[in-house]
Amino acid sequence: MVSSDDDITLAAVGDLMINRDDPRSLLEPARSVLAGADITFVNCESVYAEDGARNPAARGEIRADPRNAEALAHAGFDAVTFANNHHLDSGYDAFFRTIEVLNELGIGVCGSGADLDAARQPAIVEKGDTTVAFLGYSSILFPGYEAGVGKPGCTPLRVHTHYRQIEVEQPGSEPEIRTFADAGDLAALVEDVEKAKGQADVVVVSPHWGVHFTPALVADYETEVAHAAIDAGADLVLGHHQHILKAIQVYRGKVIFHGLGNFAVDCAHNAVPGAESPALLEMQGLYPEYTFGWRDESPGYPFHPDSRRTMIATCRISGGRITEVSYVPCYIRPSGEPEPVYAGDFRFDDVADYVEQITGTVGFDTVLTRRDSDVLIET
């Protein structure tokens, strides 16, 4: 499609759930960056509904009163993906209520819908003569959370896991773990990207994927999916779910954020010592160091200190194409609010050092250049 020479900015962040007496306060420290962008995008990790019946298939229930959602609009969010492992935590009525609440606030929703066809539709945001299409998918699925024919839910991106015994003469030894995207779901994603490219100048694919509570690790299928999306015409990949920052990759001049980390998550009320649910205790047993749980040093943010490092991904779009990608380092306060940090603040270098470390650890040779207010991703 024909584009103008408009010069606009796009900002995006990872997981967000708001549930507090003063909802706007959660995003206030970062509001100048978020609302200062022309288009702003996030993963909606919470249901916003007055009532709901907890889904017995889920480990827990992430739900807040709809009044909290207004803070998203106040902070400048234009679109969200609702494809994750929490969109059906409170049943179908609460699911539809959340989409209704977001739409009433003027926020577009992708990745979920009344059926699979609806879930696969992009959220399209126009700014001037530039159009950006967002597509959402989830590989992190509880039973029944996927959309289907006549069935509400999210756009599934299912994954097959293969365990191979490395030492052929040592049964029970540590295996090699390989993951592969489901061929049908990946083909559907490619088709969605190709269609969206006919509707928009820039196409953003946003998958809920990866291995949570585990530093650095990038699963095989993440790169498989990201490369397929870019080959089909996607201009940017924004991953989330892992509750910790992940590596940044560049492929064919396009940037892949494997994990944007937590951005703003109000859930300390679910981590009261001695009141943990059986599902939470199970997670703490599987991931004893990095999992969700009460922390005296950050009472408003019950995650590992490494998870206090986060970022705002930023893009400059000129003439209908992305011309520059960077990120603004942020640090999450003990009370839960994400705060942008800049050169001269030791936290700026702490976040930048961490991202460089994990990116190198997984074998990506991405060049990251620090500037006064952000870190440029060389493409």
State the CATH number of the domain containing residue 99. Answer: 3.60.21.10
Q: Across residues 195-216, what is the average pLDDT?
A: 98
Residue in this structure with the two tokens 């996927």, named with its chain if needed: 146
Does residue 1 carry a pLDDT above 60?
Answer: no
Q: Across residues 295-306, what is the average pLDDT?
A: 93
Considering its fold, how many domains does the chain have in total? 1
pTM attached to this predicted model: 0.96
What's the farthest any 2 CA atoms get from each other in the chain?
Answer: 64
**DSSP-assigned letter for residue 174:** P
At 5, is the pLDDT very low, low, confident or very high (cuts 50, 70, 90)?
low
d(CA 324, CA 327): 10
Instruction: Establish if 207 belongs to a structural domain.
Output: yes
Q: Cα torsion at 97, 99, 105, 107 (round to 10°)?
A: 170
Lowest mean pLDDT segment, chosen from 141-150, 206-215, 287-296: 287-296
Instruction: Establish if 40 belongs to a structural domain.
Output: yes
Alpha carbon 120 to chain centroid, angstroms: 17
Instruction: Establish if 1 belongs to a structural domain.
Output: no
Instruction: Establish if 366 belongs to a structural domain.
Output: yes
At 2, is the pLDDT very low, low, confident or very high (cuts 50, 70, 90)?
very low
CB 236 within 8 A of CB 322: yes
Q: What percent of the chain is predicted at pLDDT more than 70? A: 99
Does residue 367 carry a pLDDT above 60?
Answer: yes
Mean of the per-residue pLDDT values of the chain: 95
Instruction: Establish if 106 belongs to a structural domain.
Output: yes
The alpha-helical segments, DSSP class H, found in the chain are 31-36, 70-75, 91-104, 116-119, 183-197, 220-232, 278-286, 346-361
pLDDT for the residue 282: 87
Judging by beta carbons within 10 Å of its beta carbon (0-12, 13-18, 19+), is residue 256 exposed, middle or buried?
A: buried
d(CA 138, CA 266): 22
Instruction: Establish if 70 belongs to a structural domain.
Output: yes
Domain hosting residue 335, numbered range: 7-377
Question: What's the token pair of residue 195?
Answer: 């269609």
Question: What's the token pair of residue 342?
Answer: 């800049």
286: CB partners within 8 A, 6+ apart: none
Q: Across residues 48-73, what is the average pLDDT?
A: 92
**DSSP-assigned letter for residue 95:** H
At 110, is the pLDDT very low, low, confident or very high (cuts 50, 70, 90)?
very high
